[in-house]
Structure 1
Amino acid sequence: MAEKEKKIFDVSLFKRLLQYIQPYRTVFIVSLFCVIGLSLFGALRPYVLQQAIDTQIAQKKYDGFVIYIVIMLVLLLVEVFSQLLFIYYASWLGQSVVRDIRVKLFKHMLKFKMTYFDKSSVGVLITRAVTDMERIADIFGEGLFMIFSDILKMLVVAGFMLYMNWKLSLVVFTTLPLIIFATKIFQKYMKRAFEDVRTEVSNLNSFVQERVTGMKILQLFTRETTEYKKFKAINERHKKGWLKTVWYNSIFFPIAEFLSSLTMGAVIWLGGLNTVIGQTASMGDLIAFTMFIPMLFRPLNQIANKFNTLQMGMVAADRVFKVLDTDSNIDDTGTIEANHFQGEIEFDNVRFSYVKDEEVLKGVSFKVEAGQTVAIVGATGAGKSTIINLLNRFYEINSGSIRIDGEDIRAMTLSSLRNQIAVVLQDVFLFADTILNNITLNNEYITEEDVITAAKSIGIHEFISSLPGGYHYNVKERGVMLSSGQRQLISFLRAYVTNPSILILDEATSSVDSYSEQLIQDATDTITKGRTSIVIAHRLATVQQADKIIVMDAGQIVEMGTHKSLLKKKDGYYKNLYEVQFLKAETV
Structure 2
Amino acid sequence: MQSTQERKTFDWKLVKRLSPYLKQHLLLLMLALVLLLGVDLTDVLHPYLVKIGIDQHVITKDLSGLTRICLLLGLVLVSNFLMFVGFNYTIQYLGQRILFDLRLDLFRKVLALSNEYFDGTAVGKTLTNVTNDVEAIREFISEGIVSVLGDFVKLAFVLAAMLLLNVRLSLLAFTIIPVFVLATLAFRKSIRSGYRDARAANSEINTSLVETIAGVKEIHLFNHKDESSRRFAEYNRHYLDAYLKVVHSYSLYFPVIEVVANLSMIIILCYTHFAAGTALEIGVIFAFFAYVHLFFKPLRQMAEKFNMFQSSMAATERIFRLLDRKVVITNHPHARRINGHFRGEITFDRVNFAYKPGTPVVKNVSFTIKPGEKVAIVGHTGSGKTTIINLLNRLYDVQEGAVLIDGVNINEYDMVDLRTQIATVPQDVFLFTGTIANNIALHDPRISRQAVEEAARQVYADRYIQRLPQQYDENILEEGKLLSVGQRQLLSFARAFVRQPSIIVLDEATANIDSETESLIEAGVKNLLDGKTAIIIAHRLSTIKSVDRILVLHKGELVEQGTHHSLLRQGGLYKQLYAMQALMSN
TM-score class normalised by the smaller sequence? over 0.9
RMSD: 1.7
Counterpart of 2:64? Answer: 63
Counterpart of 1:121? Answer: 122
Return the alpha-carbon distance in structure 2 between the equivalents of residues 366 and 410 of structure 1: 18
User: 1:480-529: CA deviations, max 9, x gaps?
Assistant: 11110001011111111111111100111110111211121111111111
Q: Are the aligned partners of 1:186 and 1:304 in contact in 2 as well (CA < 8 Å)? A: no
Distance 1:529 1:10, change over 3 A: same
Indicate yes or no: 2:466 matched with 1:465: yes
Counterpart of 1:577? Answer: 577
* Structure 1, 449-458 or 192-201: larger mean CA deviation: 192-201
Q: Are the aligned partners of 1:123 and 1:210 in contact in 2 as well (CA < 8 Å)? A: no
Q: Are the aligned partners of 1:272 and 1:286 in contact in 2 as well (CA < 8 Å)? A: no
Return the alpha-carbon distance in structure 2 between the equivalents of residues 181 and 151 of structure 1: 20
Return the alpha-carbon distance in structure 2 between the equivalents of residues 200 and 48 of structure 1: 51
Give 1:145's aligned amino acid: V
* Structure 1, 537-546 or 235-244: larger mean CA deviation: 235-244
Distance 1:485 1:252, change over 3 A: same
Give 2:321's aligned amino acid: K
Counterpart of 2:292? Answer: 293
Counterpart of 2:167? Answer: 166
Give 2:224's aligned amino acid: R
Distance 1:92 1:354, change over 3 A: same
Indicate yes or no: 2:505 matched with 1:489: no
Counterpart of 2:363? Answer: 362
Indicate yes or no: 2:132 matched with 1:131: yes
Indicate yes or no: 2:268 matched with 1:267: yes
Return the alpha-carbon distance in structure 2 between the equivalents of residues 66 and 238 of structure 1: 57
Counterpart of 2:104? Answer: 103
Secondary structure, aligned partner of 1:353: strand
Identity rate, percent = 37
Q: Are the aligned partners of 2:374 and 2:535 in contact in 1 as well (CA < 8 Å)? A: yes
Give 2:543's aligned amino acid: T
Secondary structure, aligned partner of 2:488: helix
Return the alpha-carbon distance in structure 2 between the equivalents of residues 128 and 247 of structure 1: 29
Offset of residue 274 of structure 1: 1.2
Indicate yes or no: 2:338 matched with 1:338: yes
Alignment TM-score, normalising by the size of structure 2: 0.96
Give 1:36's aligned amino acid: L
Q: Are the aligned partners of 1:146 and 1:306 in contact in 2 as well (CA < 8 Å)? A: no
Counterpart of 1:145? Answer: 146
Give 1:506's aligned amino acid: D
Offset of residue 389 of structure 1: 0.8
Alignment of 1:255-404 (within 5 A): 255-276=256-277, 279-333=278-332, 335-339=335-339, 340-404=341-405
Q: Are the aligned partners of 1:509 and 1:517 in contact in 2 as well (CA < 8 Å)? A: yes
* Structure 1, 251-260 or 85-94: larger mean CA deviation: 251-260
Secondary structure, aligned partner of 2:356: coil
* Structure 1, 39-48 or 539-548: larger mean CA deviation: 539-548
Offset of residue 234 of structure 1: 1.7
Offset of residue 192 of structure 1: 4.9
User: 1:294-353: CA deviations, max 9, x gaps?
Assistant: 111111111122333333322222221121122243132251123421111011111111
Counterpart of 1:526? Answer: 527
Distance 1:306 1:6, change over 3 A: closer
Offset of residue 191 of structure 1: 4.5
Indicate yes or no: 2:243 matched with 1:246: no
Return the alpha-carbon distance in structure 1 between the equivalents of residues 237 and 39 of structure 2: 42
User: 1:214-263: CA deviations, max 9, x gaps?
Assistant: 11111111111112222122222222332333233233222211100111
Give 1:113's aligned amino acid: S
Q: Are the aligned partners of 2:5 and 2:313 in contact in 1 as well (CA < 8 Å)? A: no
Offset of residue 8 of structure 1: 2.2
Offset of residue 19 of structure 1: 2.4
Secondary structure, aligned partner of 1:450: helix
Return the alpha-carbon distance in structure 2 between the equivalents of residues 290 and 474 of structure 1: 65
User: 1:406-451: CA deviations, max 9, x gaps?
Assistant: 1111112221211111111111111222111211221121122210
* Structure 1, 474-483 or 68-77: larger mean CA deviation: 474-483
Offset of residue 576 of structure 1: 2.1
Distance 1:409 1:191, change over 3 A: farther
Distance 1:192 1:11, change over 3 A: farther
Offset of residue 293 of structure 1: 1.3
Secondary structure, aligned partner of 1:566: helix
Return the alpha-carbon distance in structure 2 between the equivalents of residues 502 and 69 of structure 1: 83
Counterpart of 1:433? Answer: 434
* Structure 1, 483-492 or 57-66: larger mean CA deviation: 57-66
Alignment TM-score, normalising by the size of structure 1: 0.96
Give 2:58's aligned amino acid: I
Paired positions, count: 583
Q: Are the aligned partners of 1:8 and 1:188 in contact in 2 as well (CA < 8 Å)? A: no
* Structure 1, 411-420 or 365-374: larger mean CA deviation: 411-420
Return the alpha-carbon distance in structure 1 between the equivalents of residues 21 and 200 of structure 2: 25
Offset of residue 137 of structure 1: 1.0
Indicate yes or no: 2:544 matched with 1:543: yes
Secondary structure, aligned partner of 1:523: helix
Offset of residue 89 of structure 1: 0.6
Return the alpha-carbon distance in structure 1 between the equivalents of residues 133 and 288 of structure 2: 42
Return the alpha-carbon distance in structure 2 between the equivalents of residues 154 and 148 of structure 1: 10
Return the alpha-carbon distance in structure 1 between the equivalents of residues 204 and 114 of structure 2: 23
Gaps of 5+ in 1: none
Distance 1:330 1:29, change over 3 A: same
Counterpart of 2:448? Answer: 447
* Structure 1, 90-99 or 2-11: larger mean CA deviation: 2-11
Secondary structure, aligned partner of 2:396: coil
Offset of residue 206 of structure 1: 1.8
Return the alpha-carbon distance in structure 2 between the equivalents of residues 3 and 213 of structure 1: 34
Return the alpha-carbon distance in structure 2 between the equivalents of residues 366 and 573 of structure 1: 18
* Structure 1, 142-151 or 309-318: larger mean CA deviation: 309-318
Counterpart of 1:419? Answer: 420
Gaps of 5+ in 2: none
User: 1:170-202: CA deviations, max 9, x gaps?
Assistant: 111111233234435655654554344333322
Secondary structure, aligned partner of 2:397: coil
Give 1:298's aligned amino acid: K
Secondary structure, aligned partner of 1:350: strand
Secondary structure, aligned partner of 1:239: helix
Give 2:227's aligned amino acid: T
Q: Are the aligned partners of 2:7 and 2:310 in contact in 1 as well (CA < 8 Å)? A: no
Offset of residue 129 of structure 1: 0.8
Offset of residue 393 of structure 1: 1.2
Give 1:415's aligned amino acid: V
Secondary structure, aligned partner of 1:346: strand
Counterpart of 2:73? Answer: 72
Q: Are the aligned partners of 2:9 and 2:307 in contact in 1 as well (CA < 8 Å)? A: no
Q: Are the aligned partners of 2:364 and 2:557 in contact in 1 as well (CA < 8 Å)? A: yes
Return the alpha-carbon distance in structure 2 between the equivalents of residues 229 and 469 of structure 1: 43
Give 1:14's aligned amino acid: V
Offset of residue 559 of structure 1: 0.7
Offset of residue 564 of structure 1: 1.9
Secondary structure, aligned partner of 1:376: strand
Give 1:576's aligned amino acid: Q
Distance 1:191 1:442, change over 3 A: farther
Q: Are the aligned partners of 1:143 and 1:307 in contact in 2 as well (CA < 8 Å)? A: no
Offset of residue 574 of structure 1: 1.3
